[in-house]
Amino acid sequence: MSGACPHLPPKPPARPARVSLRRYIKLFRADILSAQPARLYRAWMAEFRTPFFTSYLCNDPELVKTVLKDRPDDFPKSDRVREGLAPLLGNSVFVTNGETWKRQRRIIDPAFEGGRLRDTFPAMWAAGQSAVARLAARADGQPVEIEAETSHAAADVIFRTLFSIPIENEVAAGVFREFKAHQHAQPVLNLWALIPLPKWLPRLHRGEIKRTAREIRALITRLTAERMAEIEAGTAPDDLATKIMTTADPVTGATFDTAEMVDQVAIFFLAGHETSASALAWALYLAAMFPDWQERVADEALREIDPERAEFAVVKRLANARDVFRETLRLYPPVPMMVRETTCPEQFRGRAVAKGAQVVLSPWHQHRHERLWERPDEFDPGRFATENGKAGLRNAYMPFSAGPRVCTGAGFAMVEGPLLLAMILRAYRVELVEGRPAMPVAHLTVRAKDGIWLRIRPRAGGGD
Ligand code: HEM
């Protein structure tokens, strides 16, 4: 088990090659990563047959390209994914398919374009400064569970960029609180939604999921309705919410109404906060594990970042922070697997695949694939300068998915992640806590089994 090796970033142990379906379901419920056999790190494709469904995990870059880029309309998300997430997400862009999905993307995408990221930057910067200030109280060398801190910071980024309000705002704080309760109740259930098991199997926590989802949506509705009124009165701030709510679909001319906007805000919050929080926490953990890289990121940040100036151009100069963040997303992709469905009979690598089969695309396995990456389990942000690393980025790297259904927030997240990492390491040194190694597990996103623990201390020269 490489998780026990002091030189390799933690990796969950694989399960034995053969297990019964009952055992597989049990393992899957506990953690989808350790429920998988080791051969998936070498296979181009693997077929799982059960009495209820057949699924195909695809690692072959050509096959992944077919599904995500060449013929995405033939491989939609299954209705089950939508059903599972419906209490919270309604008809959000994350779960819709076909024409509805296309229309929603036409309205949302312009808000996340490169040029708009520059406008969003000061809000992200402010959230980074707030995170640095908050951590001052924790920088006494005592163990800190860092996921809680990065979660707070990522939620702050979302509220500031979307609605121009900090996380301290009463409604924002309410959404954040209820989301934590929701996540606590929902992760297992959500995975159930991804596998088409029979209806008679027990579904847990239904009531709690519905209650928290209702609460979150009520709060988001309040924010969205207030914003609609401000737009009508001409007093709305120029942030992501205003941009999305005032963008008309170039094809139909329609804008989102309040109800449809609530669905989108819910997914921006869910998709944009838990993922970024997980990535930033792992990046800090890896920085603690590999102090050489930590020093490189910190030196660069001390050199390049002027804490008095929110300067968008700085992002380009934070090359070490970007490579560390990229390597973190390779080793700990926050969305470990994505599921699609076949809508007609297919041939996958010469094998007949029936209509209605599940297609699993696994960033987790592709990113650690032994035939695609050199030293796949090692942490080496320098790899992206090598031929193998560059080829990997092109063919075997999909933390944000790929093709038309690629994460809307990919560009946003690649500014946010390296920036916050650099700002935090500019101000603090992070160290591992003996006896508290982190171990990845995947529920909806890749988290750590018992949290990610670090000691934080002020860094000389970074305390301005
Ligand atoms: C490190 C951070 C992030 C990671 C790793 C990530 C990853 C992903 C992945 C893998 C998907 C595709 C899921 C699938 O097809 O099943 C996705 C979709 C999505 N993400 Fe992200 N995401 C991140 C941050 C964000 C942010 C910051 C936002 C918005 C503010 C966002 C908004 C979305 C939305 C709206 C979708 C649905 C797109 C669609 O289905 O058309 N994400 N994300």
Least confident of 340-344, 345-349, 448-452: 448-452
Q: List, in sequence order, the alpha helices (H) in 51-186.
A: 61-65, 79-89, 98-108, 114-135, 146-163, 170-185
Read off the pLDDT band of 278 (50, 70, 90). very high
User: What's the gap in Å between 267 CA and the centre of ligand 1?
Assistant: 9
Residue type for 60, please?
D
Contact 217, 88 (CB under 8 A): yes
The 10s digit of each residue's pLDDT in 161-207 is: 999 999 988 988 988 888 887 776 655 434 444 555 544 444 544 67
For the chain, the average pLDDT equals 89
pLDDT of residue 28: 65
Average pLDDT over residues 322-329: 98
With a 6 Å cutoff on the Cβ, whether 112 touches ligand 1 is no
What is the pLDDT at residue 189? 39
Residue type, 356: G
Q: Which amino acid is at 396?
A: A
Segment 14-19 shows an average pLDDT of: 70
- Which ligand 1 atom sits closest to the C-alpha of 161? 30
Among 84-88, 209-213, 277-281, 283-287, the minimum mean pLDDT is found in 84-88
What CA–CA distances, in Å, run from 322 to 16, 131, 263, 266, 316? 36, 19, 31, 28, 9
Count, residues in the chain: 464
319-331 and 258-289 helices, crossing angle to 10°: 100
Q: Sign of torsion, CA 27 29 31 36?
A: positive
Q: Is the CB of 94 under 6 A from ligand 1?
A: yes
Residue that has been written with the tokens 């057949």 in this structure: 54
Q: How far apart are alpha carbons 66 and 348 in whole angstroms? A: 10
CA 275 to CA 338: how far, in whole Å? Answer: 14
Top pLDDT among 105 and 3 is at 105
Q: Which residue's alpha carbon is nearest to atom 41 within ligand 1?
A: 405
Residue 15 per-residue DSSP state? B
461 vs 95, which has greater pLDDT? 95
Residue of 102 and 38 predicted with greater confidence: 102
Ligand 1 atom closest to Cα of residue 329:
5
Q: Decide if 277 contacts 151 (C-beta within 8 A).
A: yes
- Backbone phi and psi for residue 169, each to the nearest 5 degrees, phi listed first: -55, 140
Section 246-263 average pLDDT: 94
Cβ partners under 8 Å of residue 343, min gap 6 = 74, 75, 76, 355
Place of tokens 């379906």: 21
Contact at 8 Å (CB) between 381 and 327? yes
Q: Which atom of ligand 1 is nearest to the CA of 278?
A: 1
Residues 113-132: what's their mean pLDDT? 94
Q: What local confidence, expressed as pLDDT, does residue 4 receive? A: 47
Q: Please give the share of the chain, as a percent, with pLDDT higher than 70.
A: 88
The most distant pair of C-alpha atoms in the chain lies apart, rounded to whole Å, by 64
**pLDDT tops 90 at residue 31:** no
- From 93, 194, 407, give the residue whose CB has the most ligand 1 atoms within 8 Å, as the site to mutate: 407
Rounded-to-integer distance, Cα 33 and Cα 18, Å: 15
Give me 261's structure tokens: 């906007």
Nearest Cα residue to atom 32 of ligand 1: 409
Cβ 335 under 6 angstroms from ligand 1: yes
> Any alpha helices (H) in 61-113, and if so which ranges?
61-65, 79-89, 98-108
- Identify the pLDDT of residue 191: 47
Q: Residue 269: CB within 6 Å of ligand 1?
A: no
15/337 Cα distance (integer angstroms): 17
